[in-house]
Structure 1
Amino acid sequence: MEPHVLMDKTSLPDGGLLALYKHQGEFVLEYNGLELMSTNLTLSEQMLADLGCAHLLEEAPTRPEHPRVLIGGLGMGFTLKRVLEVIGSPATVDVAELMSQVIEWNRTYLVEHNGPLLEDPRTNVILADLFDCLGEGDLYDAILIDIDDTPDALITEDNGKLYTPSFLTLIRDSLNPGGCLAYWMAEPSPRLEMALKKTGFDLEEHPAKPHEESDEARHRIYVARLNS
């Protein structure tokens, strides 16, 4: 059996280990030895973009002249790739990524899968915590978040703030009228559902397969819009 080849690794602020491996032509991102994502399982990440940006594909005057999208978590770039494919131009896609090494991996190793996404003139990568990218007066038409498996399975303990009422209120206030918030979850999250509803969002839950040939749609995309 072909072994996993370590390409690079880096430490998270809390000491956890993030590592990029290559195996049989595919890349695998692991956290403390557990697989987070791979270039072979990307369907639900693409669905996050499709569902979160669906309202931006409508005909004018509903569609903004210059849509602005914020993505929380660059990962392997598949959500960003799909957003760029569907959103058209002109547009601005901000991407908040906490780890500089993840950005570098997208510029180097992952280019063979996704191309030079970070060189697209619509892309603006921000080396920062998503929490710190909101509240400065910038408004978005869509905010897409793919950072943790669930609020109960965090990549770092500090990510707990991304599911608090104060953060969800901050997101609510950072959306343009008609804007959309979408979360990727590895499995159903009643805790997130309740928090979004309490913050005043109307919620849709979409089962999602990790791969087109998967037997089970275990992942979830939560699409939240403000109550009218």
Structure 2
Amino acid sequence: MKPFLTLAQARTPEGAELTLHSHDTEFYIRVNRQPLMGTNASESEKVLAELACSRLGQHTAPRVLIGGLGLGFSLRRVLECVGAGAHVQVAELLPEVVAWNREFLTTVNGLLLDDPRVEISVMDVFQILAQAPSGHYDAILLDVDNGPIAMVKEGNGRLYQAQGLATISRALKPGGRVTFWSASQDSAFARRLAKAGFKVEIVGCKAYPQAKKKTHTIFVGDRS
């Protein structure tokens, strides 16, 4: 049996321990020793991207913002969905995660960071949204933390409250779409999203294609 290896470690600004691991051909990220994501369960991250980009067909140069790089699966699917004129900005809070993609995950999605359509911003996605011109983005994908319930950084929760949703709405073009990844269902968040003026759709999805249950949730919000 091949060993479960620890490849790298990092600390979040609030002190949580983030670790990168490998086992056989798979890679995993844990936070405080708890599973956060893995290459063996990336299906919902791809669905997050597909739903965000499904209305971009007529846009020759869409602006897309991805909150959270992770293992790069959402980035890969976005780049597959958009054309050569797209600009895809990826906000990743931890520079170590960007470095891990370049150093350890080139066989996964790390090479995508050098795609000419991609801009990597090492900063909090909330700050990027707050500083963006009004109506700047055609689509926004948020795979931040564990969804509305923060696991990595307590401050991530503001994205899912009224202030964060108003900031997202302002940064989106009219008719733009935001998608949120969540490890679980959250009816209270769906109500907040609707109250913020979004047309809401809730999509259950599998962690991996052969899964029997849809254990993850994608919240879709269309700005009217």
8 Å CA contact 1:68, 1:92 repeated in 2: yes
The reply to whether residue 190 of structure 1 matches residue 198 of structure 2 is no
Match of 2:59 in 1: 64
| C-alpha distance in structure 2 between counterparts of 1:39 and 1:135, whole Å | 31
| C-alpha distance in structure 2 between counterparts of 1:46 and 1:87, whole Å | 14
The reply to whether residue 105 of structure 1 matches residue 111 of structure 2 is no
Which amino acid in structure 2 is aligned with residue 101 of structure 1? E
Match of 1:213 in 2: 210
Q: Cα offset for 1:196?
A: 0.3
2:154 to 150, 153, 157: 157
For structure 2, list consecutive stretches of 5 or more residues without a partner in the other structure.
Answer: none
| C-alpha distance in structure 2 between counterparts of 1:37 and 1:143, whole Å | 20
Give me the TM-score of the superposition, normalised by structure 2. 0.96
The reply to whether residue 131 of structure 1 matches residue 133 of structure 2 is no
1:83 to 78, 86, 90: 78
Which amino acid in structure 1 is aligned with residue 106 of structure 2? V
2:176 to 176, 179, 202: 179
| C-alpha distance in structure 2 between counterparts of 1:132 and 1:23, whole Å | 35
8 Å CA contact 1:204, 1:224 repeated in 2: yes
8 Å CA contact 1:154, 1:160 repeated in 2: no
The total of aligned residue pairs comes to 222
* Alpha-carbon displacement from aligned partner over 1:47-67 (angstroms, at most 9, x marks no partner): 00001110012xxxxx22310
| C-alpha distance in structure 1 between counterparts of 2:161 and 2:52, whole Å | 21
CA RMSD of superposed structures (Å): 1.2
Deviates more, 1:132-141 or 1:35-44: 132-141
| C-alpha distance in structure 1 between counterparts of 2:106 and 2:196, whole Å | 38
8 Å CA contact 2:92, 2:124 repeated in 1: yes
| C-alpha distance in structure 1 between counterparts of 2:147 and 2:79, whole Å | 26
| C-alpha distance in structure 1 between counterparts of 2:149 and 2:39, whole Å | 25
Match of 2:40 in 1: 40
For structure 1, list consecutive stretches of 5 or more residues without a partner in the other structure.
Answer: 58-62
SS at match of 1:13: coil
| C-alpha distance in structure 2 between counterparts of 1:177 and 1:64, whole Å | 14
8 Å CA contact 2:142, 2:180 repeated in 1: yes
Match of 2:141 in 1: 144
